Amino acid sequence: MDNPFFFHAIKIDQEKCIGCAHCMKACPTEAIRIVNGKATLHSDHCVDCGECFRVCPVRAYSVTDDDIALVEKFEYRVAILPSVFFGQFPDHVSLYEIHHAMQALGFTHVYEIEGGVDILFDAINDIVADIDSEKPVISSFCPAIVRLIQVKFPSLVDNISKIIAPLDLAANYYRKKLSDEGVQPEKIGVFYITPCAAKIAAVNSPVGDFESPINGVINLDFLFNKVFRIIKQGKPNKKVVLEPELLESKALRYCLTNGEAKHVKGRSLCIDGIHNVIEFLELVETEQVKNIDFLELRACDESCAGGILIPENRFLTVERLNKWARYNKKQLIINQSVVRKSFNDQSVYLKQNLALKQKIEPRMIVLDNDRYVAMKKMEKTRDLMCFLPGIDCGACGAPTCMALATDIVNRKANLSHCIFMQRQMEKHNKLSHNHAFKIIEKVWGTDRLNKDCSKKGAKNENF
Amino acid sequence: MRFEYKIEGGDFTNAGLASSQIKKIMKQVGIEPQIIKRTVIALYEAEVNIVAHADKGSIKIDLEPDFIHMILEDEGPGIADIDLAMQKGYSTASPMVRQMGFGAGMGLPNIKDNTDELNVTSEVNKGTRVEMKVFLNK
């Protein structure tokens, strides 16, 4: 039944995974099961939010980022940086040092993504003002939220604003600028520095029939460590000096919570944290909350500052970005010679390439494609729930009793996976002790029931 | 497939339980999203009507492959003039209820807009019975 609709940016290292089930419990779409003592991903449920990555105690989760060596393939190597990147460095590190270090790493052009947010604000305000658009208009900024809506809230897909994200706008802009200067398009490589997994998925498998202008996605955590080391060692490459642009406050804060909603006219709300978003969308879907014009929804707590590839604490990141924003504001006022580059010189071209070509399609998770069969399965699931204990302990390898019941009707699990059912079966001589033991081993792996002093928290803890 | 729920009058906090349950089920059996939306909007309105006006009530839902049939019965004041109650903006709600965001006089008209069949019968000082049907094929 697994139907991988698209590329996933999250992968599990089976060697590292200890089958602790933390991820299974954290997953907001119940996409993870434990089989043979290892976490496995149901790809049609996964929305690439990265909650699993966040809770994994042994770093078994990783993202499918691109190797920085890919940069070498291009003559013009453009790095586009999200503003949260600058929030990772201590206060004494300057914008110049960061840019120089990036050039030392091989990038020929280093730009901030959010320079063109005014174009996006204009577009979103136009959509919100249009009486024909579905309300509330939901921001398309966070790709994990777009995917969440496709999977869990299919009736709201038409509410998602059909415009591209700031990173795509920036890529279009710098690509166009270079080709206007006479550079052959195939010589330009645009690299996005990502704070999360969902953005990797969005670049590799965009929604709405959109072709990504990005050539590679570099892990922000990885790049931060490289850049910071170069700065620490005090040997940035000073051959090329490019003047970093100063972003306006609203551009710097765009990726933070209330970065969009604040600038959208009408009744606008911002919600961060995927579980908070789910709770709210349940109300929106049944029209229990009405008359909202715009929703800014972000999967991570503190929005992109809380991205899984952000090395610094999210609250400190927010504090630093606010500090940068205030500083820039002052500089832009007192020092007129600091030219803020905005995307205005290409606004006509950018506006022509702002809209998604196709509508975003729902990807509901159904029990069966045949509705009659699905109804039968649902009835059976409800019957099974009469027997299962309802404590969602996860010992069966599924996150909830309901998830186990669903797996059973889809022939992916058996009732005997439930340890409560095992006791019942043993009592009625329908299951031998040995068999029950084997079932546990099948879910949690062999050796799982043996003493092991090297596990986390045990006396010889060793990772 | 049969679903049954009980509703307490005055309990706005828990209004919407039936509609959110039914919504989950309908998604899993693959009903078209816009039809789910219409169904749950109508059901939620009907639930809130009982919470707002009646002492208590019950919901009986039959989900079949081609249609969903919902019967909501309550014990309460009843509706004196059903035709009037069907008019948009007509409301008997108290200011307190209105303050909570309910009672705009859109309940029954909204239900009518979102269902394929609607039958409301009522007896004053006894109760109201709302029967709704939504067809599940486009």
Domain of A14: which CATH number?
A: 3.30.70.20
Could you tell me if A440 and A335 lie in one domain?
no
- A139 plus A162 within the same structural domain: yes
Q: Where are chain B's structural domains?
A: 2-135
Write down the ipTM of this complex: 0.86
Domain count, chain A: 3
A24-34: per-residue pLDDT in tens? Answer: 999 999 999 99
List per-block mean pLDDT (blocks of 10 residues) for chain B, which spans 138 residues. Answer: 93 89 94 93 92 93 96 92 81 70 72 93 92 92
Q: Is A359 inside a domain boundary?
A: no
Summarised one tens digit per residue, pLDDT across range A254-270 is 999 999 999 999 999 99
Residue A50: closest CA among A167, A141, A160, A142? A142
| A87 and A193 co-located in one domain | yes
Q: Are residues A197 and A223 in the same domain?
A: yes
Give a yes or no: residue A141 inside a domain: yes
Instruction: Indicate which of B4, B24, B27 best probes the interface with A, i.e. most A CBs within 10 Å of its own CB.
Output: B27
Cβ proximity of A293 and A128 under 8 Å: yes
Whole-Å CA distances, B131 to A37, B74, B83: 51, 12, 16
Smallest Cα–Cα separation from A339: which of A121, A125, A115? A115
Q: What is the pLDDT of residues A210-249, one digit of tens each?
A: 788 999 999 999 999 999 999 998 865 555 555 667 788 8
Give dist(CA A53, CA A63) in Å, integer.
9
Same domain, residue pair A45 and A143:
no
> Using CB atoms, which residue from A288, A368, A375 is nearest to B44?
A288
Q: How confident is the model at residue A6 (pLDDT cuts 50, 70, 90)?
A: low
A157 touches chain B (CB under 8 A): yes
Structural domain ending residue among the three candidates A64, A85, A117: A64
Identify residues of B whose CB sits under 8 angstroms from chain A CBs. Answer: 1, 16, 19-20, 23, 25, 27-31, 33-34, 36-37, 40-41, 44, 63-65, 136
Which range of residues forms the domain containing residue A282? 68-352
Residues A140 and A155 in one domain: yes
CB contacts < 8 A, A to B, total: 61
Residue in B closest to A366 by C-alpha: B28
Q: Are residues A321 and A453 in the same domain?
A: no
Residues A324 and A267 in one domain: yes
Taking CB atoms and an 8 Å limit, are A154 and B33 in contact across chains? yes
User: Given an 8 Å threshold on Cβ–Cβ distance, is B23 in contact with A157?
Assistant: no
Q: Is residue A362 part of a domain?
A: no
CATH number assigned to the domain with residue range B2-135, chosen from the 4 options 3.40.50.11540, 3.40.50.720, 3.30.565.10, 2.70.98.70: 3.30.565.10
A440 shares a domain with A397:
yes
Q: Are residues A261 and A394 both part of a single domain? A: no
Considering the domain architecture, whether residues A387 and A311 belong to the same structural domain is answered as: no
Contact between B33 and A157 using a beta-carbon 8 Å cutoff: yes
Angle between helices A166-180 and A117-129 (to 10 degrees): 130
Residues A178 and A89 in one domain: yes
Q: Which of residues 401-430 of A touch B (CB under 8 A)?
A: 406
The Cα B18–Cα B35 span in angstroms is 16
